[in-house]
Structure 1
Amino acid sequence: MVDMHGNSPKTLRQDLLKQRKEFAAGKSYASAKADLIARLNGFLLKAGQSVGSIALYWPIQDEVDLRPTLISWMKSDAHRRLALPFARPDKHLDFFEWQEGDLLIPSAHGVPEPNPNNTARPQLIPDLILIPCVGWSCSEIDGANHYWRLGYGGGYFDRTLAQLRKDNPNLICMGIGFGWQKLDDSQWAAQTHDEPLDMLLTESDLFC
């Protein structure tokens, strides 16, 4: 579905975002979203107590809205927590606990964020981070598949993951996307500063 024709990453992002908007308005979106969420629920059920805190994202530009699913997950166990990212001026992310109904503040990019000065919502290091993909790719390194995320180009997640993986070696970073967003090497290739995903979830599979 995606065709880059040798264009720049910026143009590729624009094309992918346009296609995502069209896909979200199409007839097949509801079933694809339902299948993706079902696979996420299956993963969380299997993970059990090993995942007690999840950093989600506030959906923008037709990203899959996982909030209702994750709120239900949290409410089923008093020990579970959710968190949202806060973008620091140095382009790193901090994660603060979030509950439904919390007052959020708009970031410089217009994305609702938690208030870092809210003492009732502490900062936390999540067990699982869910990251929406504009596009994604797979490459084989030393006989193993590695999955990569094409984001919006700010580099926030790459900087953050590099540090968080030092603080929490058991951290799971899961990309969220659809099968049609997969890119091949002629369209886009991960750079040396890009952090790999631990897992990639689509409507058809959980790649890891």
Structure 2
Amino acid sequence: MTDETKLNEKKKMRAQALERRKSAFDRHGCEASRKIAAHGLDFLATTPSAIVSGFAAINDEINPAPLMTWLQAEGFRLALPVMEGKGKPLVMRTWTPGDAMKTAAWGIAEPLDDKPAVDPDIVLVPLLAFDARGYRLGYGGGFYDRTLQRLRKLKPVVAVGLAYDELKVDAVPAESYDERLDWVLTPSGPVHCLDS
């Protein structure tokens, strides 16, 4: 299957996934974020000195803010992504709950430009769908794929998708440049992505 065919399949799947995620959000609401926070990141067996990059949720994404607040209390250093332009990886800037933010494209809240850029050890990733192999369906901009590719050239980085359980699918059409998730954290618990 060519990358062009996979791209077309992704477009079809994206429309279905947006509907599924909206239904999941309507069903679970803020409770999903609370359950994600309750699980924490203990399953990674990491130390609080690690830098965790989250994201500012938009629309019906699971909101990682309660998890990030908990991680800060545990001593983790936090960051949020900043878009530098189409076709470029995200820049992760330090962030603390309560920081002043700016509004960027699509209404996404980002840290101010005076916050230092960091290379996180753990990247929390939003998604529309995921499969057992760790492939995810995003919005189609490739920002997280480029970011994970850049970071993984520098050091070991763990990518953790945040998703409603209902967003798991049999297979996400994977293109040659797609970066895989290591884990997906759902309200029912962490799912380790398998090599296959």
When normalised by structure 1's length, the TM-score is 0.78
State the Cα deviation string for residues 62-103 of structure 1 (Å, max 9, x = none): 1111212312321343xx311010111243100000112222
- The match for 1:104 is 101
Q: What is the CA distance between 1:132 and its match in structure 2? A: 1.4
- The match for 2:73 is 75
Match for 1:194 among 163, 178, 182?
Answer: 178
Equivalent-residue separation in structure 1 for 2:67 and 2:37 (angstroms): 7
The residue correspondences of 1:13-162 to structure 2 (distance < 5 A) are 13-26=14-27, 28-29=28-29, 32-43=32-43, 46-49=45-48, 52-77=50-75, 80-89=76-85, 90-116=87-113, 118=114, 121-138=115-132, 146-162=133-149
The answer to whether the 8 A contact 2:93-2:116 is kept is yes
Equivalent-residue separation in structure 2 for 1:151 and 1:162 (angstroms): 16
Q: What is the CA distance between 1:163 and its match in structure 2? A: 0.9
Structure 1 stretches of 4+ moved >6 Å? none
The answer to whether the 8 A contact 1:93-1:157 is kept is yes
Q: Return 5+ residue gaps in structure 1 as ranges.
A: 1-6, 139-145
1:113 corresponds to which letter in structure 2?
A: E
- The match for 2:164 is 178
The answer to whether the 8 A contact 2:38-2:67 is kept is no
Sequence identity (%): 32
Q: What is the CA distance between 1:53 and its match in structure 2? A: 1.1
Query: Using a 3 Å threshold, how does the CA distance of structure 1 residues 68 and 31 change in structure 2: closer, same or farther?
Result: closer
Q: Rg bigger for which structure?
A: 1
Q: What is the CA distance between 1:178 and its match in structure 2? A: 2.3
2:79 corresponds to which letter in structure 1?
A: A
2:145 corresponds to which letter in structure 1?
A: D
Query: Using a 3 Å threshold, how does the CA distance of structure 1 residues 33 and 75 change in structure 2: closer, same or farther?
Result: closer
Equivalent-residue separation in structure 1 for 2:34 and 2:100 (angstroms): 28
When normalised by structure 2's length, the TM-score is 0.83
2:149 corresponds to which letter in structure 1?
A: A
Higher helix proportion, which one? 2
Q: Return 5+ residue gaps in structure 2 as ranges.
A: 1-7
RMSD after superposition: 2.2
Q: What is the CA distance between 1:206 and its match in structure 2? A: 2.0
